[in-house]
Amino acid sequence: MTASLKSLGNASLAAGLLCIGASLTLRDLKAKFALISACTVQRLLIVPLIAWTAALVFGLDKLSLGALVLFAALPTAQSCYVMTTSMGGDAPAVANVTTMQTLSAMLTLPI
């Protein structure tokens, strides 16, 4: 049972990533560049800064602070695209946001 569910989970992640790639368009990226950039800056810079500040305020040890900031600095999950599509939202915009955050995270996570 567990192996079957694990296989289904792995397949659904790959299918979601393929859907995101198929939904990407440069036209939507250009049209909503300000929104996509704002979401990326908020998720990859502002949220980790808030987490870091909160960790200092609450006196977390260095290991806990590092774990908190690391998790706060991760890009949005690819499953948000599937949820947006199923709820009738702006799927191309979410695909662009997800892609921009994932690519940008390659630069921000090492920092």
* Pair 45, 111: CB distance under 8 Å: no
Report the alpha-carbon distance of residue 95 to residue 27 in Å, rounded.
13
Report the alpha-carbon distance of residue 26 to residue 50 in Å, rounded.
32
* Pair 109, 42: CB distance under 8 Å: no
Question: Can you say how many angstroms the Cα of residue 84 is from the centroid of all Cα atoms in its chain?
Answer: 13
Least-confidence region, from 16-30, 36-50, 71-85, 88-102: 16-30
Span 28-82, pLDDT tens digits: 889 999 999 999 999 999 999 999 999 999 999 999 999 999 999 999 988 888 8
Whole-number percent of the chain with pLDDT over 90: 60
**pLDDT value for 3:** 83
Residue position matching structure tokens 């799927």: 91
Asked whether the predicted pLDDT for residue 111 surpasses 90, the reply is no
Q: Give the chain's mean pLDDT.
A: 90
Report the alpha-carbon distance of residue 78 to residue 92 in Å, rounded.
13
